[in-house]
Amino acid sequence: MLDKQVGYKRDIVKHLYFAGELSCADLCTLTGKSIPLTGRILNELILEGVVVETGHALSTGGRRPQMYSLKADLKYVVSVAMDQLITRIALVDMHHSFVGEVKRIELPLANNPDALRQLADHLSDFLGQMDVSKDKIVGIGIGMPGFVDVIKGVNHSFLPSHDGSIVDYLEASLGIPVCIDNDSSLVALAEQKFGAAKDKRNVMVLSIGWGIGLGMILNGALFRGHNGFAGEFSHIPIFTNNKLCSCGKSGCLETETSLVIVAQKAIEGLKEGRVSMLQGLTLDDIEGTTDAIIKAAQKGDRFAVELFSETAYNIGRGVATLIHLLNPELIVLSGRGSIAGKIWMTPIQQAINEHCIPRIAEDTKIKISSFGYQAEIIGAAALVMEHYDTLDLEQNKAVGSRQVA
């Protein structure tokens, strides 16, 4: 059980991490503590080298309050963003900045019974190569595809953990607190804490990648559903195309909208003689192929733009369903595919215009994330810091990772 004093300090650190800088009055409001207590804790944190004064806020007519922020190198988070093919590992400081390069690893998850051990080995190598001492690591946050049960710490789709949990296995292997969550939920968390969904109440965050993930922010909170499996947007049955989906069903949204499908259509089109700057595409390098198609579309290649326009329209058909069900104020396009930018906007809006009741859709805005492919890494770090006040750092046991509601 954490000492109350330690708990207060952790709470302040957590709020400063997400806000960047705050005044004593701001922290009183956020923590529910008195000004004298908050001021005393802040002074102690300054003496401990945790918090620094950053100057006074801009004048609003009265006395300008002193602002506070965290020391950037106070602590670090190891942030892990996984998809079905590639895993990226980054070290993130208290100002949300990457320290050093992001490590990229080819780690296929499908039909890989040894994936968890391989992940642990890669993390161990990463920790061993850091220029930061292990005791300065708050925790390891991991975003991963699949049906992730954050209460039990397991993934029912990938990374089989056999008799224990993913969290227990990694904590035992690495000696550092671990938090896990679904990749789409963490993309939404990144947008909620730092991005386009900040200060918004009802937002749908689409993560465009090898599937079309969905993170839902409802009434200002991340919504995961009863078992944590809410948001399987990719598997809404929309089409009668008789195409088999990765889930085993047919006609799912994913079968016409994933970046894998975009790559397949590009390769087929080139074989049929379509004129394009695109050449030498292959599914053996799906990442390089999709990056090439995105770059071609950004340069105005007609065939590449056509591919994304068709995909975007089909995504828009799914978005129309979300708008009818949940009436969001904002739709955010995030994840790997969002770096294609405004090419997505018009076809999605066209589909909404065609398939939505105007009265329901008229106040829903669409935005492209500024985070792009980095959203999941940012969200994985945020996951750890969201539970900073409950992490048992002394015992190297991540209480928070098994108590996410």
Q: Tens of pLDDT along 170-189?
A: 999 999 999 999 999 999 99
Contact 78, 103 (CB under 8 A): no
Domain membership of residue 36 (yes or no) is yes
Question: Count of H helices and E strands in the chain?
Answer: 13, 15
Of 70, 91, 114, the domain-final residue: 70
- Which three-class secondary structure state does DSSP give residue 252? strand
Q: Is 353 found in the same domain as 215?
A: yes
Within a domain: 192: no
pLDDT at 195: 95
Q: Judging by DSSP bridges, how do beta strands 203-208 and 330-334 pair with one another? A: parallel
What is the distance between the alpha carbons of residues 209 and 81, in angstroms, rounded to a whole number? 13
Q: Would you tell me how many other CB atoms lie within 10 Å of the CB of residue 354? A: 11
Give CA angle at 186 (181, 188), nearest 5°: 140
pLDDT value, residue 395: 44
Kindly state whether residues 158 and 299 are assigned to the same domain. Answer: no
Residue 134, domain member (yes or no) = yes
Average pLDDT over residues 61-80: 90
Q: Are both 330 and 246 inside the same structural domain?
A: yes
Do 363 and 315 fall into the same domain? Answer: yes
How many folded domains does the chain comprise?
Answer: 3
Q: Domain boundary at 19, 48, 70, which?
A: 70
The secondary structure of 157-184 as a DSSP string is SSS--TTS-HHHHHHHHHSS-EEEEEHH
Q: Is residue 62 part of a domain?
A: yes
Average pLDDT over residues 53-62: 76
Read off the pLDDT of each residue in 375-391 and give the average, rounded to a whole number: 94
| Long-range contacts from 89-96, C-beta under 8 angstroms, 24+ separation | 89/122, 89/123, 89/126, 90/377, 90/381, 91/130, 91/132, 92/377, 92/378, 92/381, 94/17, 94/70, 95/20, 95/69, 95/70, 96/17, 96/194, 96/378, 96/381
CATH of the domain at 87: 3.30.420.40
- Considering the domain boundaries, does residue 255 fall inside one? yes
Asked if residue 380 belongs to a domain, the reply is yes
300: Cβ contacts below 8 Å, ≥ 6 apart: none
Q: Does 402 score more than 50 pLDDT?
A: no
Q: What is the pLDDT of residue 127?
A: 95
Stated as kind and residue range, the H or E segment containing 118 is helix 115-129
Q: What is the pLDDT of residue 393?
A: 59
Which tokens sit at 179?
């938090």
Q: State the CATH number of the domain containing residue 33.
A: 1.10.10.10
- The tokens describing 346, both together, are 């018009």
- Please give the structure tokens belonging to residue 296: 């071609």
> What is the average pLDDT score of the chain?
92
pTM over 0.85: yes
Mapped to the 3 state alphabet, what secondary structure does 277-341 carry?
CCCCCCHHHHHHHHHHHHHHHHCCCHHHHHHHHHHHHHHHHHHHHHHHHHCCCEEEEECHHHHHH
Tell me, what's the pLDDT at 167? 95
Judge whether residue 399 has pLDDT over 60. no
Residues 202 and 329 both lie in one domain: yes
Q: Which of 36, 70, 104 is the last residue of a domain?
A: 70
pLDDT digits (tens, 9 = 90+) for 156-172: 999 998 878 999 999 99
Report the candidate in 227, 83, 254 with the shortest Cα–Cα distance to residue 151.
227
3-state secondary structure of 255: helix
Residues 364 and 381 in one domain: no
**pLDDT in the model for residue 6:** 85
Residue 191 lies in a domain: no
Q: What is the dihedral of CA 133, 139, 145, 146, to 10 degrees?
A: 140
* Mean of pLDDT values over 319-324: 96
The pLDDT of residue 37 is above 60: yes
Q: Does 241 or 400 have the greater pLDDT score?
A: 241
Q: How confident is the model at residue 110 (pLDDT cuts 50, 70, 90)?
A: very high
- Is residue 45 one of the residues assigned to a domain? yes
Average pLDDT over residues 244-253: 91
Q: Does 149 share its domain with 216? A: no
**Cα distances (angstroms) measured from residue 379 to each of 188, 316, 323:** 7, 25, 24
Q: Among 45-49, 243-247, 374-378, which is the least confidently predicted range? A: 243-247
- Mean pLDDT lowest among 93-102, 240-249, 264-273: 240-249
* Residues 301 and 365 both lie in one domain: yes
Q: Give the whole-number percent of the chain exceeding pLDDT 90.
A: 85
pLDDT at 1: 43
Q: How far apart are the C-alpha atoms of 401 and 405, rounded to whole Å?
A: 10
* Residue 207, amino acid: S
Query: Residues 6 or more apart from 76 whose CB is under 8 A from it?
Result: 91, 92, 93, 94, 99, 132, 136, 137, 138
pLDDT computed for residue 5 by the predictor:
80
Verify that 144 and 181 share a domain, yes or no: yes
Shared-domain flag, residues 233 and 303: yes
Residue-range definition of the domain harbouring residue 325: 198-370
Run of H or E including 70: strand 66-70
83 & 37 share domain? no
Cβ atoms 262, 308 nearer than 8 A: yes
Is there a single domain that holds both residue 107 and residue 130?
Answer: yes
